Every structure is written in structure tokens, then in C-alpha cells.
Amino acid sequence: MKIVFLIGSISDSHIIKRVMAFAERKYDVEVYGFVRGVNTSNRFGNLPLHILGEMEDQNYLGRIKTEWAKVRDVIRKYPKGTLFYVWGFDLALISALSGCKYVYEISDMVHSKLRWPINRILRILDRKLIKNSVATLITSEGFIEYLGYNSTDSSKFILMPNKLAEIFKNMERPNPHIEKECLRFGFVGYYRYPNTVLRLARVIGESYPNMEFHFWGTGPDNIFNDVKGLASNYKNIYEHGPFKNPDDLQRVYDSFDLVACNYDATGPNERIAEPNKLYESIFFNKPILVSENTFLGKKVKSMGIGYVSETSSDENVKQFLNGLNVQDVIKKAQKESLIPSKMLVEDYTEVWNRLR
């Protein structure tokens, strides 16, 4: 069976993981996508990859205008009945208007950032895109409620949390431990959230010489420069740069004891998302710090595998850090180690069954 992937950002590790899962299942896979962000390396192996152009950060209308002609041309190249796998509202909208057969994946609710009534109109339109899809994969249960569904009223949904790739089934997990009394935080991924993540790092640099903060990844120039500035100003803050996922993850997670996933939760998307850092942190037995009033926070609290805290002010950050101790961090790491690895790895059974 042939599947043509239409991708807004070919450097997104989550997307690459999904494409490779289909290829390993022996689907006939072809990939079309836009370059977006700083990482443009081809990590799709020998799969046919077609670059449609560069996509800059812009609003919905700007993005759809940029994508429209090129994506329509791709769709027209293939015979009717070809199955397209599309990411995001804008590509799903183009696919639906083109009358093609598509699987729709929702990994974030970008229109949640828009103001009323535009966000409401787009949410209603999103429900139509879901209805017309062959299937719609969602990466967080929080999306269901946001879109106005309950847990049982849409047969289109396939819940696929941002779990680990199947390669992790054969990887050995580290023992839960802390090498020294110095607690080390780590942020892994795309640098952002200056009001929470960077604030946490700065406060540690300024006031907690017995702690460390490690940055792994990359980001937009302004945030990247801020991170480099923190690393140059404070001896206990480190900027390690980009890494290869999943090859380098063991080395990355070995460098710290707690995962900083305290995203700025002022936007609806951050409140309802379930990032892959949850499953990475559990696999590597690293307790996770997340923000209050989020779907992720409820999950972390119920599982007892990390900390839920407000970190949008220096005072709140200090209150959290003052309450930390090595013994409690180890206790939470040990709890993570008891969660079976198979619970942390993606299971495509429902996807394969639905696409037969």
C-alpha cells in the first residue's frame, strides 16, 4: 500500500519517527515537506524525500497561502484513491479541499492560540476535517475535550501519545541514581519558554551554585543567544547544542538528574498537550518538572514521577528549589524504573488495523 506523507516541517523528530514506523512496516512511503527551523538534515534514510520549499513562522493564512499551490500540485500527481498522511490543520484543510483520501495527525492545537471568534470557527472546521478523514491520530487525550468531543463519540480518533520509538524496546534502561549531591536539571529539545524554563536556569545560575542546568538542543536565534548568554555568565549552566535522536539520548540524559519540562502554560495548547518528554524521562528514570494547571501536570502528579510547580516568577522558582532534596528525587526515579518499558513505547496495532 502506498502512503504519501505531507509534512510542514521535515526536521520534526516526532514526524520522522512516525514516517519510519510506516516504512519499517513495509508500506510504500514517499515524503513531501517543507524546511522549517534550523535542522534541515535528512534523517529519512533512503526514503524518497521531496523538499517543497522553506516555511517561515507565520499565521495560518500566510502558511496556507505558501503551501496551497505546492501541495495541490503534489496531490494532483497521484491517482485518485492514493492515501495521504498529513500533519496539522493547514495541510489537512488543503487535502480535504482537494478531495483526496487522507489520514490526519494532530500533534498540537495551533489555532488555540488565536482569538475568538477565529479560533471557534477553525475549531468547528477542524471537526469537519476529522469527520472526512480515514482516521485522525491525536497525541494527547486533552485534545478530545478541547475539540468538543467526549471520550466515546468519535470513531475517527486513534490515540497515539508521544511515546518512544520501537527501537527503545531493545535498549537497556539506566539504574535510578544520582552521581553527586549536586542536583542537575536538563532541558532537551527546541529552546523556548523564556518566562519559565530560562527563568529556572537563570535563578539556578544566580542563586544555587550547588545545582546545575544543562541545555541540549537548538532554537530561534533570540532564544538561542539567551541560552548561550546564560552559559557564559554562570559556571553551573551548560549549553551542549544539537543532538541526534535517538542515538544520543542516553548520553544526553546521563548529563542531568531532573527533566525541565515546565512549559509556559498561559496558552491552551501547552495546557492540553502531552509531550514526548514524559515518556523519555520515565524511560531514563529522570523525574520531570512540569507546570501547574496542565493535563501533563495531572498525569505526573497521579503517577508520582515528578514535580508540578509554578515557575513563572523568581520567588516561585526559589520556593520550589528550596524544597528539593536528593533523597526525594531518587525515590521518584525508582518509581519510574518500575514502569515497564513496553508501556513507554508506541503501539501501532490500532493504526495498522484501521488502514487495512
Mean pLDDT of the chain: 89
The domain locations on the chain are 2-160, 169-341
Q: What is the CA radius of gyration of the chain?
A: 21
The confidence score (pLDDT) of residue 166 equals 83
Instruction: Write b or e for each residue in 11-31: b if 16 or more Cβ atoms lie within 10 A of its Cβ, otherwise e.
Output: bbbbbbbbbbbbbeeebebbb
The confidence score (pLDDT) of residue 153 equals 64
* Confidence grade of residue 53 (pLDDT, cut at 50, 70, 90): confident
Helix (H) or strand (E) holding 230: helix 221-233
The confidence score (pLDDT) of residue 68 equals 87
Q: What is the pLDDT of residues 317-326, one digit of tens each?
A: 999 999 999 9
What is 2-160's CATH number? 3.40.50.2000
| Distance separating alpha carbons of residues 76 and 333, to the nearest angstrom | 52
The confidence score (pLDDT) of residue 61 equals 63
Q: Is the dihedral of CA 201, 205, 207, 211 positive or negative?
A: positive
Residue type, 173: R
- Residue 217, by phi and psi: left (phi above 0), alpha (psi -120 to 50) or beta? left
Q: Is 9 helix (H, G, I), strand (E, B) or coil?
A: coil
Q: What is the pLDDT of residues 249-293, one digit of tens each?
A: 999 999 999 999 999 988 777 888 888 999 999 999 999 999 999
| Distance separating alpha carbons of residues 70 and 6, to the nearest angstrom | 11
* Confidence grade of residue 30 (pLDDT, cut at 50, 70, 90): very high
* pTM for this entry: 0.84
Where are the extended beta strands (E) located within 125-272? 135-138, 157-159, 183-190, 211-218, 237-239, 258-261
* Confidence grade of residue 58 (pLDDT, cut at 50, 70, 90): low
CATH architecture of 169-341: 3-Layer(aba) Sandwich (3.40)
| Distance separating alpha carbons of residues 134 and 101, to the nearest angstrom | 7
Same fold, 2-160 and 169-341: yes
* Confidence grade of residue 42 (pLDDT, cut at 50, 70, 90): low
Say whether pLDDT at 205 is over 70.
yes
* Confidence grade of residue 40 (pLDDT, cut at 50, 70, 90): very low
User: What is the percent of the chain where pLDDT is above 70?
Assistant: 93
Give the residue-averaged pLDDT of 104-122: 78
| Distance separating alpha carbons of residues 88 and 107, to the nearest angstrom | 7
Give the residue-averaged pLDDT of 137-149: 86
Which residue did the predictor score with more confidence, 92 or 36? 92
Cis amide leading into 79 (omega within 30) = no
Which residue did the predictor score with more confidence, 332 or 107? 332
